[in-house]
Each structure stands twice: as C-alpha cells, then as structure tokens.
Structure 1
Amino acid sequence: MVGARRLRVAAVALGAVGGGFSALYALLSEQGRRARLAIGVPEAPPPRADGVYTPAHLHGIRPSLRFAVVGDSMAAGLGVDREDELPGVLMARGLAEEADRPVRLTTYAISGSTTNDLPAQVDRVLQDPPDVALVIIGANDVTTRVSIGTAVTVLATEVRRLRLAGIGVVVGTCPDLGAIRPIAQPLRSVARSWSLRLAKEQKTAVEQAGGVAVPLADLLSPEFLARPGDLFSADRFHPNAAGYDAAAAILLAPLCSVAGVWHGGPLPEWPQRSALAEARRPTTRIVAWLNRKHRQQK
C-alpha cells in the first residue's frame, strides 16, 4: 500500500511538471509566432553586387584576389538598400585596399539558409575555388531548431572541404539572438542561450578544421544591445548598413590574414565583451579605411 501511494504521488508530481512544460512550450511557440509576424517576410532578396573591386590607387597591373561569401541572410546582406552597403562589397573593397590588387567578389550566400544548406553552397564554390571565403551561419539553425550537434558537424565538414581545396576560411559564428527585440521574453533568453552555445561549439569546430573563427556575438552583441535603433534594419532582425559596417570592421583583418595580405602585424586573441572598445580601436589601416568611407558619405 505504501508503494502504491508513492506511485500515485509520483504520478501527480510528474503530471504537474508535464503540465508546466506543456504550458511553457505553448508560451514559447506563441512568442515565436508573434516574433515571426513582427519581423515579417522580406519583400525582396538583398541586392547583389558581384564583380571586381579595385583599390583606389592600384600600383601596377596585378591579378585579382578571388573572394567568396557563403552562408545565410547576414552573409548575403539582407537589410541594406544599396549595393555599396553589402557586407561582401565592404569587405571586398577592404581586401583590395590592403592587398593593393583587385578583388573579385562572388556571393553564394542565400537568405534563410541553415548549416544544412552549406554543402550545396560549398559544392558551387569548389567549382571555381577562390583564394579566400567568408562563412556566416547559425542564426537560422536556432530559429528552426537544428540541433547544435548536427550544425557543428556539418560546418566542420564544409570548412575542411574548403581548406583541402587551398581556400583560406573565416567563419563568423552565430550572432547573439538575445539582441533581437521582436523576440519577447522568455523566448529571447532561450534564443540567446542557444545561439551562444552554438557559437562556442562553432568556434572550436572551425579551428579544429583549419579555419579562423570570429565570435560575432562576443564582439558585436554589446553594441547592438546598446544601440538597436542605429544598427538594425526596419525588420529589427537583420543589421542595417551601419550594423554591417560594424561586422566588417572585425572581419576584415582575419580575412586579410588568411588571404596572406595582412600587413597590420600579428592579430591579437579575440577579447571578451568587456574589452569591446579596445577590440574596435581604430589602429589598423582597414578600420581607418572604413572611417574614411563614412566621412565621404556624410
């Protein structure tokens, strides 16, 4: 009889816990639905501006450096209005200035892609291998609930494929989805935790596969949290032109390094969030170039 009573108590307790999980799941599902409505569906894909970008003062005739952009909507540049605001264009121009040679940009990134879509993109890249590739991926893995294990395994495999082809690889890891204001709490905290866990695992996997990982969440999240109105586009999910400038400022140096054209000295270890200001300190020619571009646009 004592055993039966304990079983009944346990059943009631499990039912209460199960009911709590059901209620939480229903709440998170409803918040996800509302966030999707608030963010909306993009009216059009981002502009494309593939082609050759030449430094302002080219010294002599030099062969083009080939640069590929792979990944999701952040890699493709969703959220900007003009071609010259695209992250690929910003970085192609920065690479050209640092290398003192033309850079041929080819964009393979597709909005909405998850890591599971990378193999098809990499297949296209390997048909005409570039010198360097930038990969930005992960946000859609979180929003579509791709398991972290699956996402990391696929990413590592594709980075190895690119490296075996002699391509220098830089990966911008998953951004911090906790900075996305249309996502209500507690779903925003769940998304933040998941995205940061994914980013951490991505960094380890990319480095083991021979690529260079840039922790976008660590380096950009404080700024996006502090100035969401300045750095997010109208959908409040994708960066705007200023947001992509901020990302380009931290991605250009490692891109130049893996391309073998970096002349700014040894790259430091990536700092923690508390050292964000030091990380963005304008001491390199690349960041100075971005500052000049801003002044010219004003």
Structure 2
Amino acid sequence: MSRRRWLVAVSVGMPMVAVVVLAVEAGLARQGEMLTGAPPELDTSVGEGPEPSLVVVWLGDSTAAGVGASRAAAALPIQVARGLDRPVDVSVLARSGATVADVVDCQLPAIAELSPDVVFVSVGANDVTHLTSRADFERAYRRLVAGLPESAEVVLLGVPDMGAIPRLAQPLRAVAGFRGRQLDDVVGEVAADTGSAYVDIDGEAGPPFRRDPERFFAADRYHPSDAGYELWADAVLAVVRRSAMLER
C-alpha cells in the first residue's frame, strides 16, 4: 500500500485511531496550559497616525488567542496590528481549543456589536485533532463566513502544517498533516467563493517550522513561539498589503 493510500485509510477509518488521536489532543491541551500559562490579554489599541483607527477582530483558536507567545506584543494579532503602520483597535474573541463549530456558536454572535473593518479567522487545527469530517468542517466554515458583517473585509488563515508539530509522534503526525491539508483546502475554496483573502500559512510558514522546530515552536512543542508567530504575521501582512483593505 502506498503512503498516501495508508494515510487515507487511517484518516477515515478505525475507531481506535480516533480514540488515540483524541487522547493525545487532550494531553496536549493540558501540557500546553502548564507550559504557557493563560494567554495574554490582547484587546488593545496599537499604532499612531492621522488616519482613523482600523477596527480589527480576530476569531478562532489558540493561535489567534496568543497561546505560545511569551508576551502580548509577540502574539499574532498584535504583530499583525503593528505591521499595518496605522492606528488599529484590536479585539480578540478567539479562544484556545475552539473548533470551527465553536467559533460559529460562541464567537460569531459577539462580533456585530464591534463593527469591525477587518475580520481575521484562524481556526482548523482543533478540527484536525477532533476528527471533524471535511464535510462538517466545510458546512460550519461556510456558516461562519456567511455570518460575518458584510461591511467587513475578511482574511482567512489556512490550517497550519500539522505534520510539522514535534509533540505529535508518528504515525499521528503524518495523519494530522494529511487531514490538516484536507481542511486547508476547504479554507482556500471558501475564500475563493466568497471573495475573502486567503493566507497560505502551511505553504509560507510550514517549511521553516520543519527546518528549525526548536526556534519556531514554543516550549510545549505544539504552538508557535514568538518567532513562529512572526512568520505567520509576515504571511498575513503580505496578503493584507496586496489588498485594498488598508485604504479604509
């Protein structure tokens, strides 16, 4: 059996694999909390200038909530805000452990009152470890994007390279990587269908994470480090700068 066929078989079958993956995910969550502590407080204003403040909201999971960052300034939302070179009001609704269904149910209802100019979404890794099917992920992700304010620019961050995570032992790492790419394809498709901006986190940041995991992963060997989030921020800013959203 080829490696790809083996991965497909494992990713769609055998309940025992599901049990093992979920057990590992739960252990990772506990370990990550012990090593990194509570995520930093990220709701803040960043930057100066004559322009009116850009209202930015982040939805998603631990990557948008700052888990792994040593301080608020190193978290992804703040690094991105600083890179916009203008006044930015940052609100982070993201929560560690969130799946896309959690974002729809628990975060999306709170966004309307914030009147965002730009919404960033970073979610999918927990759907990989919770074995969310591609079809269920797509349905929930489309509901999420459809529920965002029509006046807001939308930036969708792809699913990161789950196959690069040192904390996951083989063969779980290979399975997670394969399933992560499946869900990342969904994010790209939704972005194309809805006119949202798509950030290829896997393609842009994945290779450095694989080459130098000690530098780009946090101490829990699961979440990005300060340097890892800088790579993500660079990828996000490159997409934002190519768009018209900075002309607000």
TM-score (norm 1): 0.72
What does the per-residue CA deviation read over 1:95-126, in whole Å, with 9 as the maximum and x for residues that have no partner?
1x1xxx31101111100000001223121111
Inter-partner Cα distance in structure 1 for 2:25 and 2:152: 38
Q: What is the aligned partner in structure 1 of residue 175 from structure 2?
A: 190
Inter-partner Cα distance in structure 2 for 1:158 and 1:33: 28
SS in 2 for 1:235: coil
Q: 2:89 aligns with which of 104, 108, 120?
A: 104
Q: What is the aligned partner in structure 2 of residue 83 from structure 1?
A: 72
Q: What is the aligned partner in structure 2 of residue 260 from structure 1?
A: 245
What does the per-residue CA deviation read over 1:127-179, in whole Å, with 9 as the maximum and x for residues that have no partner?
22210011000000010111111111211222122252x11000111111100
Inter-partner Cα distance in structure 2 for 1:131 and 1:34: 38
Q: 2:135 aligns with which of 130, 149, 161?
A: 149
Q: What is the aligned partner in structure 1 of residue 107 from structure 2?
A: 121
Inter-partner Cα distance in structure 1 for 2:202 and 2:135: 19
Identity of aligned residues (%): 31
Q: What is the aligned partner in structure 1 of residue 33 from structure 2?
A: 42
Runs of 4+ in 1 over 6 A off after TM superposition: none
CA contact (8 A) 2:21 2:129 kept: no
Q: What is the aligned partner in structure 2 of residue 217 from structure 1?
A: 202
Q: What is the aligned partner in structure 1 of residue 57 from structure 2?
A: 68
Letter in 1 for 2:172: L
Indicate how the Cα distance of structure 1 residues 108 and 258 shifts in structure 2: closer, same or farther if over 3 A, else same: farther
More displaced stretch, 146-155 vs 223-232:
146-155
Query: Cα RMSD (Å) of the superposition?
Result: 2.3
Q: Which runs of 5+ in 2 are unaligned?
A: 1-8
Inter-partner Cα distance in structure 2 for 1:113 and 1:27: 21
Inter-partner Cα distance in structure 1 for 2:244 and 2:129: 32
Bigger RCO (CA 8 Å, 6+ sep): 2
SS in 1 for 2:131: coil
Inter-partner Cα distance in structure 1 for 2:54 and 2:24: 44
Q: 1:136 aligns with which of 119, 122, 125?
A: 122
Inter-partner Cα distance in structure 1 for 2:15 and 2:155: 36
Deviation at 1:260, TM superposition (A): 2.5
Name the count of aligned residue pairs.
233
